[in-house]
């Protein structure tokens, strides 16, 4: 029987709660929550009470890392702290699971990778969209050769109105690293590249726009309630990003991400085009294959059951830590992701394509 992993959650607000659902639900047999940590102690205490946990409470993550009986930490803090805490935890001999994005800069991503390798500990960053049933179906179909050579695609996550924590850390570049590109883009870019077989990005170009910073209207999206808004806070990130990624195998990917944009409705999607067939993935489990057989076009939309991508990603982390599975995600993929995001911001600023 696998060993239960004693894990500490650092950051008990927004996404921390999503992670706790994964630890206390179907994965309860894989983990023991040993500690909760938040600089706002009441958040940790509220989480402890809500989930009926028997664990220690901390306000300083450094105190968590001193506990020898803690095997791993889960980081669900604002983005700018991801690399700081991850590297400290790896140096303290802990396995690390981290909410996306991996970090803010390429240098931080490389330092996280190096710390993981030096410590010999698992470093995994949330890539929950890989674990939906629809994603797994498409991965299997592609691996079986059903789509042939995948040479082009497009992906996005568009919100009509859904700026999170306006004026707070989400919209403060020094703390978030950017707007919807780094917040939402990680999800769909990662899913696309994973389905494409993880080609290496070699060049990007992009544009970013900030058009809703001074919009005082109320949002129609629940996403606008995420995070803590500040009336007179900072808004120095984009609310729309569009771009283009080229890969070493000749394939390309168009991207579009918005927190606020005058469109019909919120949508997250991946569309890929192959020599034998194409596919679309919409909002999790709405999957369609587009192909041709016997001289006739066909569309196939398999029935896909819902799945908790966060919980399944967390379960995979446990299996990797216990040596029962090879990691689906490796730190170099995180380095490549941050390279893409940073280069798109650079391209938007300079007006030029950026080689990676």
Q: Which two tokens stand for residue 197?
A: 């077989």
Q: Examine residue 332 and state whether it is found in any structural domain, yes or no.
A: no
Q: What is the pLDDT of residue 308?
A: 87
Q: Which two tokens stand for residue 243?
A: 């771009």
Instruction: For residues 235 and 19, give the distance between their C-alpha atoms in angstroms, rounded to a whole number.
Output: 27
Q: Examine residue 150 and state whether it is found in any structural domain, yes or no.
A: yes
Give Dmax (Cα) for the chain: 66
Mean pLDDT of 173-180: 97
Among residues 109, 125, 141, which one ends one of the domains? 125
Task: With beta carbons less than 8 A apart as the criterion, state whether 276 and 291 touch.
Answer: yes
DSSP lists the bridge partners of residue 325 as none
Say which DSSP state 178 is in.
S
**How far is residue 57 from each of residues 27, 150, 272, measured CA to CA in Å?**
21, 48, 46
Instruction: For residues 103 and 120, give the distance between their C-alpha atoms in angstroms, rounded to a whole number.
Output: 20
Q: What is the pLDDT of residue 220?
A: 60
- For residue 67, pLDDT over 70 is answered with yes
How many helices (H) and strands (E) the chain has is answered by: 11, 15
Cβ-proximal residues to 143 (8 Å cutoff; 6+ apart), any chain: none
For the ranges 116-125, 212-221, 278-287, which has the lowest average pLDDT? 212-221
DSSP lists the bridge partners of residue 335 as none
List the one residue out of 63, 67, 51, 65 whose CA is nearest residue 19.
51
Give the phi and the psi of residue 39 in degrees, each rounded to 5.
-65, -20
- For residue 84, pLDDT over 80 is answered with yes
Co-location of 220 and 113 in the same domain: no
Range of the structural domain that residue 265 is part of = 131-307
Task: With beta carbons less than 8 A apart as the criterion, state whether 94 and 120 touch.
Answer: no
Co-location of 179 and 300 in the same domain: yes
- For residue 41, pLDDT over 80 is answered with yes
Co-location of 98 and 212 in the same domain: no
Q: What is the pLDDT of residue 159?
A: 93
Task: With beta carbons less than 8 A apart as the criterion, state whether 106 and 328 touch.
Answer: no
Instruction: For residues 205 and 301, give the distance between their C-alpha atoms in angstroms, rounded to a whole number.
Output: 33
- For residue 258, pLDDT over 70 is answered with yes
CATH number of the domain that 224 lies in?
A: 3.30.360.10
Co-location of 38 and 161 in the same domain: no
Among residues 94, 125, 156, which one ends one of the domains? 125
Q: Which two tokens stand for residue 286?
A: 């709405």
Which strand (E) or helix (H) includes residue 194? helix 185-195
- For residue 317, pLDDT over 90 is answered with yes
Tell me how many domains the chain contains.
Answer: 2
Q: Tell how far CA 219 is from the center of its chain.
A: 23
Q: Examine residue 323 and state whether it is found in any structural domain, yes or no.
A: no
Q: Examine residue 352 and state whether it is found in any structural domain, yes or no.
A: no
Q: What is the pLDDT of residue 217?
A: 66
List the one residue out of 274, 303, 270 whose CA is nearest residue 291.
274
Co-location of 251 and 143 in the same domain: yes
Give the phi and the psi of residue 291 in degrees, each rounded to 5.
-150, -165
Co-location of 77 and 219 in the same domain: no
Q: What is the pLDDT of residue 83?
A: 98
Q: Examine residue 11 and state whether it is found in any structural domain, yes or no.
A: yes
Task: With beta carbons less than 8 A apart as the criterion, state whether 223 and 267 touch.
Answer: no
Q: What pTM did the predictor assign?
A: 0.95
Among residues 75, 110, 125, which one ends one of the domains? 125
List the one residue out of 267, 337, 313, 330 whose CA is nearest residue 27.
313
Q: What is the pLDDT of residue 1?
A: 58
- For residue 225, pLDDT over 90 is answered with no
For β-strands 252-258 and 150-158, DSSP reports them as: parallel
CATH number of the domain that 35 lies in?
A: 3.40.50.720
Q: Which two tokens stand for residue 108?
A: 């931080």
Q: Examine residue 285 and state whether it is found in any structural domain, yes or no.
A: yes
Mean pLDDT of 196-225: 86
Helix axes 106-119, 82-91, angle to 10 degrees: 20
- Please give the mean pLDDT across all residues of the chain: 95
């Amino acid at each position: 029987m696998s060993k239960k992993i004693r894990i500490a959650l650092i950051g008990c607000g927004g996404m921390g709660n999503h992670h706790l659902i994964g630890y206390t639900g179907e994965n309860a047999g894989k983990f023991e929550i040993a500690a909760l940590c938040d600089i706002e102690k009441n958040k940790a205490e509220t989480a402890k009470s809500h989930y009926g946990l028997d664990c220690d409470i901390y306000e300083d993550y450094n105190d968590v890392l001193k506990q020898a009986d803690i095997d791993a930490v889960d980081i669900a803090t604002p983005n700018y702290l991801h690399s700081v805490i991850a590297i400290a935890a790896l140096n303290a001999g802990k396995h690390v699971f981290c909410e996306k994005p991996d970090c803010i800069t390429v240098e931080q991503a490389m330092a996280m990778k190096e710390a993981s390798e030096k410590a010999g500990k698992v470093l995994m960053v949330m890539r929950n969209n890989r674990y939906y049933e629809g994603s797994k179906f498409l991965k299997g179909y592609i691996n079986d050769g059903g789509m042939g050579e995948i040479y082009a695609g497009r992906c996005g996550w568009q919100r009509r109105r859904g700026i999170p924590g306006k004026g707070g850390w989400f919209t403060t570049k020094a703390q978030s690293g950017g707007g919807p590109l780094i917040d939402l883009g990680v999800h769909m870019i990662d899913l696309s590249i994973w389905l494409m077989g993880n080609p290496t990005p070699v060049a990007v170009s992009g544009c970013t726009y900030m058009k809703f910073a001074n919009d005082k209207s109320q949002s129609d999206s629940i996403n606008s309630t995420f995070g803590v808004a500040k009336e007179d806070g900072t808004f120095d990130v984009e609310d729309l990003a569009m771009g283009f990624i080229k890969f070493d195998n000749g394939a390309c990917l168009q991207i579009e991400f918005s927190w606020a944009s005058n469109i019909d409705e919120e949508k997250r999607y991946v569309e890929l085009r192959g020599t034998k067939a194409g596919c679309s993935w919409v909002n999790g489990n709405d999957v369609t294959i587009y192909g041709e057989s016997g001289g006739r076009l066909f569309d196939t939309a398999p029935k896909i059951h819902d799945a908790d991508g966060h919980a399944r990603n967390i379960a995979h982390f446990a299996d990797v830590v216990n040596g029962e599975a090879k990691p689906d995600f490796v730190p170099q993929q995180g380095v490549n992701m941050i390279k893409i995001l940073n280069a798109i911001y650079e391209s938007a600023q300079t007006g030029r394509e950026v080689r990676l």
